[in-house]
Amino acid sequence: MRILSGIQPSGALHLGNYFGMMRPAIELQEKGEAFYFIADYHSMTSLFDPAERRRNTLDVALDFLACGLDPKRAVFFKQSDVPEVCELTWMLGTLTPMGLLERCTSYKDKTAKGIPVNHGLFAYPVLMAADILIYDSNIVPVGQDQKQHVEVTRDIAIKFNEQYGQTFVIPEPQIRGETAKVPGVDGEKMSKSYGNTIEIFGDEKTLRKKVMAIKMDSRTPAEPKPDADQNLAIQLLKVIDPGVGQEWEDRLRAGGPGYGDLKKKLFESYWESFAAARQKRAELLANLDYVNGILAAGAAKARTKAAEVLKRARVASGLE
């Protein structure tokens, strides 16, 4: 069974990325042959600074490895080290109806807001389909917001198979219910583009401040709070440590604890739960040759598989 997922190097990774995609992906690496990559081609649709792209790419590599991606089990690589995926993107694009892409929220949301979009952003789901199909992927662990893209991938693969004969494996998205949508410090979905993130790795003081600034209502501590499950700090605490989160939810429900103490607990739980990863990240940062070696070895393995599937598609469609 092949498991595949990607993450864009478009900014510092946050708890939404970790609980929505990285942790499930890391757990799945035990269950089959996992391919995980840094989607640097995808980042070109929204990030135009070369130095920033290089820096972010390295950061994603460090973050993912520090969080537990095991290069002995998973094939870890940079998307653009397998340029075959661009050829397949072209082939798939010729079978992709315009309407299918016009319905994709990434494009639809931007145009609705009057933001000019480039062709790359419009064609983004086709590149993602190529990413998935070129490795014969069965399972794609992603957060809720990427589900539509995996469905588009399935549509395109079915169409190709109907047109040119059985070529691609039809993939399934895998979305974890409880952490499908981690809220940010403002209550909206946590996202790099909303400026509401709690980074996985960052400066302690800045992050503590961010957590302590989460807005609460004006009820007194003693007042029982039957709606404690709606409290943002509780929701985040439950994502980080379900047991402790439930305990504080019950305490809040009964009345007693103050919001300041709750937020302190939230910060501590978060900070402690990444202590080992922080240590690991510092070690990796001091050993960049090792990190680059992992990506190079991963790219070589991924490329071999990609070449095989691409060849199949070229033959099926009459290019060869």
Q: Which chain residues interact with ligand ADP by CB under 6 A?
A: 7-8, 10, 16-17, 20-21, 142-143, 145-146, 179-182, 189-193
Give the one entry of ligand TRP, ligand ADP, none that residue 132 binds, where binding means its C-beta sits below a cut-off of 5 to 8 angstroms depending on kind. Answer: ligand TRP
Q: Of 61, 57, 31, give the one whose Cα is nearest residue 44.
A: 57
Count of Cβ atoms closer than 10 Å to residue 208 Cβ = 16
Task: Give the nearest distance from C-beta 314 to ligand ADP in angstroms.
Answer: 30
Choice from 3, 5, 101, 196 touching ligand TRP (CB under 6 A) = 5
**Closer residue to ligand TRP (CB): 142 or 295:** 142
Region 101-140 residues binding ligand TRP, contact defined as CB under 6 A: 128, 131-132, 140
Give the one entry of ligand TRP, ligand ADP, none that residue 106 binds, where binding means its C-beta sits below a cut-off of 5 to 8 angstroms depending on kind. Answer: none
Task: Give the nearest distance from C-beta 150 to ligand TRP in angstroms.
Answer: 7
Distance, in Å, from the CA atom of 105 to the CA atom of 180, rounded to the nearest integer, reads 17
**Closer residue to ligand ADP (CB): 26 or 316:** 26
**Closer residue to ligand ADP (CB): 181 or 264:** 181
Q: Where in the sequence numbering do the catalytic residues fall? A: 110, 189, 192
Q: How far is CA 166 from CA 94, 108, 301, 316, in A?
A: 17, 32, 24, 8
DSSP letter at 41 equals H
Task: Give the nearest distance from C-beta 241 to ligand ADP in angstroms.
Answer: 17
**Closer residue to ligand TRP (CB): 95 or 152:** 152
Q: Do 79 and 41 contact (CB within 8 A), yes or no?
A: yes
| Angle between helix 275-285 and 259-273 (nearest 10) | 40
Task: Give the nearest distance from C-beta 8 to ligand ADP in angstroms.
Answer: 4
With b for 16 or more beta-carbon neighbours within 10 A and e for fewer, the 68-79 pattern comes to: bbebeebbbbbb
- Tell me if residue 102 falls in helix, strand or coil: helix
**Closer residue to ligand ADP (CB): 192 or 312:** 192
Distance, in Å, from the CA atom of 122 to the CA atom of 79, rounded to the nearest integer, reads 19
How is the beta sheet containing 33-38 ordered, strand by strand? 74-78, 33-38, 2-7, 139-141, 172-174
The reply on whether position 316 binds ligand TRP by CB under 6 A is no
- Nearest residue to ligand TRP by CB is 6
The reply on whether position 146 binds ligand TRP by CB under 6 A is yes
The reply on whether position 6 binds ligand TRP by CB under 6 A is yes
